Amino acid sequence: MSIPASRTSLLMSLVFFMGIATALSAQATKPAPPTPIDEKKVELGGKAWNPEWDTIIEKALPSEMLSSQVPKDVRRFCPRFYEMGETDKRTFWAYFFQALAGAEAGLNPNTNVRQGDRAGAKNDEVSGRVMHSQGLLQVAYADLQRYGCEFNWEMDRLLKPNDPAKTILQPKNNLECGVKILANQIIVQRKPLLTRSGYWSSLHPGGLSYRVFAKQMTNPPGACHLPTQSTIDKSATTKSVQDDANRGVTPK
């Protein structure tokens, strides 16, 4: 028995749209809670974390970072990570990178820091100049070759060091690079989340930078079930904090 062409076309369309719906469900995102530094910056009249950055992070996550391949020390910050659904896991990682950006760059996307003193400074493999850590996650042009980050040195070299138009300072490029770096560490190399051989000093246990980072990890998503003394409103998100900032309201 043959199936009419019109019915075949309808069935194919249904399968296609069901596939899209499934993909969208799998990619569901939501704003993360605010870190302490995010709320403090709003109190002081500073620029809040942009909730659009949560979405960038959540969409950039490879499936392995939502799986049991994530190292066990993630439970230090999110005890129920392995029991959570994928949407909550994405939200946790968005919060994690917000905290990391708070420790590394004070949530300032235009941060540009020279690495090392004059005697011990290393040259960047891509720019050929003294290494600088840049942007929200303090990454470098060398990460273009190491991790496939989407920076354009030939374009950026014509701009001023803190010009937000630089591809390395643009939050999307910078945050996606950070996701690639962390995925390489914990998935490809199978290293712990916290290790002295990791990319960021903020994730080196015991150091000053780590203590700064750990203070920012006290208000993760409620689904993590982390016992905490955080005074931040549990209903607050990066979006509600930004909305308060736009209205000139001090967060509760």
pLDDT at 24 over 80: no
Other CB atoms within 10 A of residue 234 CB: 9
Tell me if residue 48 falls in helix, strand or coil: coil
Is residue 125 a part of any domain in this protein?
Answer: no
Cα–Cα distances in Å, from 17 out to 26, 27, 63, 95, 196? 14, 15, 22, 31, 46
The one-letter amino acid code at 124 reads D
Is residue 221 a part of any domain in this protein?
Answer: yes
Q: In terms of pLDDT, which residue wins out, 30 or 3?
A: 30
- CA–CA dist 58, 94 (Å, integer): 6
Distance from first CA to last CA of the chain, Å, rounded?
A: 68
Site of tokens 């998100």: 237
Tell me if residue 30 falls in helix, strand or coil: coil
Average pLDDT value for the chain:
88
- CA–CA dist 161, 59 (Å, integer): 28
Q: What is the reported pLDDT for 20?
A: 33
Which range of residues forms the domain containing residue 31? 27-107+171-247
Are 109 and 171 spatial neighbours (Cβ–Cβ below 8 Å)? yes
Is residue 195 a part of any domain in this protein?
Answer: yes
Other CB atoms within 10 A of residue 65 CB: 19
Average the pLDDT over each of 19-28, 76-85, 150-159 and give the range with the smallest value: 19-28
Q: What is the reported pLDDT for 16?
A: 34
Q: What is the reported pLDDT for 243?
A: 86
Average the pLDDT over each of 39-43, 89-93, 102-106, 157-161 and give the range with the smallest value: 39-43
- pTM to 2 decimals? 0.87
Number of domains in the chain: 1
Is residue 84 a part of any domain in this protein?
Answer: yes
pLDDT at 1 over 90: no
Both structure tokens of 114? 């020279």
Is residue 36 a part of any domain in this protein?
Answer: yes
Closest by Cα among 243, 196, 241, 197 to 95: 241
- CA–CA dist 242, 245 (Å, integer): 5
Is residue 161 a part of any domain in this protein?
Answer: no
- CA–CA dist 239, 252 (Å, integer): 14
Average the pLDDT over each of 142-156, 159-173, 177-191, 226-240 and give the range with the smallest value: 226-240
For residue 184, what is the DSSP state?
I
Q: What is the reported pLDDT for 184?
A: 98
Helix axes 36-43, 86-105, angle to 10 degrees: 60
Q: Can you name the residues that pair with 112 across neighbouring β-strands?
A: 134
